[in-house]
Amino acid sequence: MTDTSVIISSPQITELIDLVKQFHGFDFSGYTKASLKRRIIRIMQLKKLGFYDLKHILVNDPHFFQDFLEEITVNVTEMFRDPSFYKAVNNQVVPYLSTYQHSKIWVAGCSTGEEVYSMAILMREAGLSNKSFIYGTDINTEVLKDARRGIYSLRNIKSYAENYQFTGLKGSISDHFTILYDAASIHNELKQNTLFSVHNLVSDGVFNEFQLISCRNVFIYFETELQERILDLFYKSLCPLGYLCLGSKETIRSDSFKKKFKVINSKENIYQKVGA
């Protein structure tokens, strides 16, 4: 299944990181190297490129970089991934959000939008549709086009429906879609409460104040120092007592940030901003 002939060394990875930064302005130096290496090997296999071809095309073909960016970042996502997480948000965070006239939610690293719409459905089920707005951001412009469209393959909806059932939400996931042939289109009512835009967690700053930030399965690709820089960005982007959700295998380990974020749910990694 994998072409074992593609080999790339660690210094070559560093060389590519430097080249991408120099020519395209994206800094991958804080990304975890084992994952990054797998992604680069995958691109070389898909495009049938050797290391020198890859370097050449990265510098000389402006269109190639978009493909590269799309492949190098992992865009595997689901609606209601980890149903127990959505259940916990519903029980522990939604009551807090409902106390606001209007709440803003940021899904950072939203890829093709599935988690943004999951959150929108959760808000709708809680009766907060008109009182909430969800921002989805990603490093990658191409995946955001899909996110804005909000049309997903029916094949995937089946597994999303199973996730949905485990969340304990009422009704079924199909209440939120219109089925068109082999695709499911998210209801406009849900789309109206969302905005998708490009934001690079590595280099971009605070752009709004939020009651809830969800950034799940993004930190796994970042080394500890970069994680801490982004935790600082999230801290500054949250209102006092605002909530931060990380992936179910991602915990805050740094002592200084443990003081700034109180654990609300240790299994689902839901935190609340505390301190000044």
Partner 1 sequence: MAPDKKLVERWRAAEILLLGGSAGSFKLLFQIVKLLPHNLNKTVIIVIHRKKNFFSEIEKLFAENSRMQMREVEDKDILNRNTIYIAPANYHTLIEKEGTFGLDVSEAVWFSKPSIDVTFESAAEVYKERCIAILLSGANQDGAEGLLKLKNSGATTIAQHPGDAEMDEMPRAAINIGAAEYILHTEEIFNLLNTP
Shortest gap between Cβ of 132 and partner 1 (angstroms)? 26
Shortest gap between Cβ of 6 and partner 1 (angstroms)? 12
Q: Which amino acid is at 31?
A: Y
Residue 276 touching partner 1 (CB under 8 A) = no
In this chain, which of 132, 214, 217, 265 binds partner 1, going by CB under 8 A?
A: 217
Closer CB to partner 1, 61 or 162, in the complex: 162
Closer CB to partner 1, 253 or 259, in the complex: 253
| Tokens found for residue 142 | 């191409």
In this chain, which of 19, 59, 202, 220 binds partner 1, going by CB under 8 A?
A: 220
Per residue, the 3-state secondary structure of the chain, as one string, reads CCCCCCCCCHHHHHHHHHHHHHHHCCCCCCECHHHHHHHHHHHHHHCCCCHHHHHHHHHHCHHHHHHHHHHHCCCCCCCCCCHHHHHHHHHHCHHHHCCCCCEEEEEECCCCCHHHHHHHHHHHHCCCHHHEEEEEEECCHHHHHHHHHCEEEHHHHHHHHHHHHHHCCCCCHHHHEEEECCEEEECHHHHCCEEEEECCCCCCCCCCCEEEEEECCCHHHECHHHHHHHHHHHHHHEEEEEEEEECCCCCCCCHHHHHHEEEEECCCCEEEECCC
Residue numbers 137-166 binding partner 1 by CB under 8 A: 162-163, 166
In this chain, which of 56, 229, 249, 258 binds partner 1, going by CB under 8 A?
A: 249
Shortest gap between Cβ of 268 and partner 1 (angstroms)? 13
Closer CB to partner 1, 102 or 258, in the complex: 258
Residue 224 touching partner 1 (CB under 8 A) = yes
Q: Which amino acid is at 166?
A: F
Closer CB to partner 1, 2 or 22, in the complex: 2
Residue numbers 28-57 binding partner 1 by CB under 8 A: 32-35, 38-39
Closer CB to partner 1, 4 or 22, in the complex: 4
Closer CB to partner 1, 13 or 147, in the complex: 13
Closer CB to partner 1, 68 or 133, in the complex: 68
In this chain, which of 113, 136, 150, 247 binds partner 1, going by CB under 8 A?
A: 247
Burial string for 154-178 (b: 16+ CB within 10 Å, else e) reads eeebeebbebbeebebeeebeebbe
In this chain, which of 141, 153, 197, 251 binds partner 1, going by CB under 8 A?
A: 251
The residues of the shown chain that bind partner 1, judged by CB under 8 A, are 1-2, 4, 32-35, 38-39, 74, 76-77, 81, 83, 162-163, 166, 217, 219-221, 224, 247, 249-251, 253
